[in-house]
Amino acid sequence: MFGGLSMTELLFILAIALILFGPRKLPELGRSLGQSLAQFRRASEEFKRSWEEEILMEEKRLSASAWTPPASPSGSSSEPKGDRES
């Protein structure tokens, strides 16, 4: 159910939290815990997204630097033969 915790374990944890924090403070703690988890999730998604963007930019940079124009054969050239300097 909740990461491998059984219902008995969840009730035990809730009872201990109720004893430690009291009935007035418990909803406030739950709300702040939920907000913290949501903020952590957003931050981790943002980190993941920026990491993937960096990887894509690095792959593009590497593929652009690895590309070289094909070498022309040694005997042929795109210049007309009459315009060559001897």
Q: Residue 42, SS3? A: helix
Give pLDDT tens digits along the chain (86 positions).
Answer: 567 888 899 899 889 988 998 888 988 988 999 999 999 999 999 999 999 999 999 998 888 887 666 666 665 555 555 555 54
Q: pTM for this structure?
A: 0.52
Q: Quick one: pLDDT at residue 40?
A: 97
> For residue 70, what pLDDT is reported?
67
- Where does residue 21 rank: exposed (0-12), middle (13-18), buried (19+ CB within 10 A)? middle
Cβ-count burial of 17 within 10 angstroms (0-12 exposed, 13-18 middle, 19+ buried)? middle
Question: Residue 86 and residue 72: Cα distance in Å, rounded?
Answer: 19
